[in-house]
Structure 1
Amino acid sequence: MASRISELVLGCRDPEALARFWCEVLDFVVLGREDDGSMEIGPREGFGGAQPTLFLSRRDRPEPGLTRLHIDVNATDRDQDAELERLLALGARPADIGQTGEESWHVLADPEGNVFCLLRRRLAPL
């Protein structure tokens, strides 16, 4: 038996705003809130299902340096171009991390600057 990813943790100043953004991007719901404003979002079936949850950990100050962990997303019901348009309309913005422009994916940043990638391959919804 192996381990598997159950949740991803993302430090942020405004968990509420990022929860709105990531819930729209991933079709997630808010699963829980902590007293300090941190939040957990995830698929409707909750923690422990086929998809990991995303824990938005409230931080008063941004952590120095680049984020060492990022999220890759794949469209489930549209092509990459249409999903890119949707993500940009939700508040994502292009991010330059030194890519060549020949990549098959798009590097984006969420509203707080956390980098994530939109991959080309379309995945079936769970």
Structure 2
Amino acid sequence: MACRISELVIDCANPNRLAAFWSDVLGYVELGREDDGSIAIGPPDAGPQPTLVLSPSSDPRTGKLPLHIDVNATDRDQDAELERLLALGARPADVGQTGTESWHVLADPEGNEFCLLRTRLQPL
């Protein structure tokens, strides 16, 4: 038996704001709050997708993230999903792409990069 990623922890200045953003992006719901201000969000049906834990931190971010999230639309094409993500507060990010990529590099409200890939996936 192998391991499975169950949680991704994201240090952030404003857990409430990022929890709301990523819940809207992924269709997640709040699962709980900890005394330290961390907020856990995840799939509403406890599906196999990993939980995100937004953990408060005042440490400044330096440089490009060593890990980022890739997302795929499940119920619309890439262009429509890009419009939706931008309306939620994502913004285009430049990490040195050439402009010929099949994906879009975006940043969440705190500047964490993520990519919107082209392939549409079936919802779980």
TM bucket by the smaller chain? over 0.9
Q: Which residue does the alignment assign to 2:16? A: 16
Partner of 2:28: 28
Give per-residue Cα distances to partners, 1:40-67, cap 9 Å, x unaligned: 1000123xx3111111111013232322
Normalised by the length of structure 2, the TM-score is 0.96
- Out of 98, 103, 106, the position equivalent to 1:108 is 106
In the superposition, the TM-score normalised over structure 1's length comes to 0.94
Q: Residue 12 of structure 1 contacts residue 62 of structure 1 at CA under 8 Å; is this kept in 2?
A: no
Paired residues in the alignment total 124
Tell me how large the CA RMSD over aligned residues is.
1.0
Q: Deviations over 1:46-105 (max 9, x none)?
A: 3xx311111111101323232211111000000000000000000000000001111100
Structure 1: which amino acid aligns with 2:25?
Answer: V
Superposition pairs of residues 74-85 of structure 1, within 5 angstroms: 74-85=72-83
Alpha-carbon offset, residue 36 of structure 1: 1.7
SS at match of 2:62: coil
Query: Unpaired segments of 5 or more residues in structure 1?
Result: none
**Percent sequence identity over aligned pairs:** 73
1:2 deviates by 1.1
Partners of 1:45 and 1:62 in 2: CA distance: 34
SS at match of 2:98: coil
Residue in 2 that maps onto 1:41: 41
Contact 1:38 1:57 in 2 (8 A): yes
Q: CA deviation at 1:15?
A: 0.4
